[in-house]
Amino acid sequence: MVPIRPLILVCLLFMGAQVGEAALDGAGGFRRALEQSRQTGKPVAMFVYTDWCPYCRQFISKVLSSGEVRQYLAGIIEVRLNPEHGQAEEAIARRYGVTGYPTYFIFPPGSDQPRRVAAHGGMAPAQFVQECKKASGVQRPATAKTPAARRTQPAARPATVQDTALQGAGRPETTQPKKSSQPAPAGLVTLHLTDGRAVTGWLIQKTPEALTLAVINSGIAAFERASITRIEPATLEE
């Protein structure tokens, strides 16, 4: 039998190597990263994960460890944060609304207000890099628009007797349908969690251990079944 503690140590070392040798770690590393960002004008990337999360390992192996992503991250300040490593780390994750793993944030240069970036093993590395650039404020220069050709309106024709007669004819009134709650698309659910929160998103994967949602206005997140008290279908308001 392989000893458990050495095996865990090997896994942690592997994850550290894949995320990046230069990445700062934990709450202290996060504070240093923000200070370096103010001094250098570089954005900060914070990867929030846990040791037990299979989706984190998949994201690391298929996206973060790719050459294209590593080349992009070489120009910014990396931080990795495990909320289970201490109260300070847990407080940072709670401050920024982390509800599942993996979660990825980009902090624009000199700012402590992050923008969440979608992070899951099914995305292409090029897509991830583009999302990070958008979040950090690095955009492609806009192309100059050519002036649109001026359109001329056709001259109005003289009114006829028939036109005058038709002006008094009433037209049937049309009414706009009232907006109402529509049935949610298949897979849209609300998870009620043990900490009192309710999270709504599209269910994209489920295992005996966890459910993975594409959370509305957020990103991909996994939730342990032990933390879920109730699952119910969700509705969308038009």
Give the C-alpha separation, 219 to 214, whole Å. Answer: 6
Dmax (CA) for the chain in angstroms is 100
Cα-Cα-Cα-Cα torsion 210, 214, 216, 218, nearest 10 degrees, comes to 90
Q: Which CATH number describes the domain made up of 181-237? A: 2.30.30.100
**In 3D, which of 99, 93, 130, 129 has the Cα closest to residue 114?**
93
The string of DSSP codes covering 17-66 is HHH-TT-EEHHHHHHHHHHHHHHH---EEEEE--TT-HHHHHHIIIIITS
CB atoms within 10 A of CB 44: 25
Per CATH, the homologous superfamily of domain 4-136 is Glutaredoxin (3.40.30.10)
Q: Give start-end residues of each CATH 2.30.30.100 domain in the chain.
A: 181-237
Query: pLDDT tens, position by position, for the chain (238 residues)?
Result: 444 444 443 344 344 444 545 689 999 999 999 999 999 999 999 999 999 999 999 999 999 999 999 999 999 999 999 999 999 999 999 999 999 999 999 999 989 999 999 888 889 999 999 999 999 885 544 444 444 445 555 555 555 544 544 454 444 444 444 444 444 445 788 888 888 888 888 788 788 878 887 777 777 788 888 888 888 888 766 5
Tokens coding 56: 């984190």
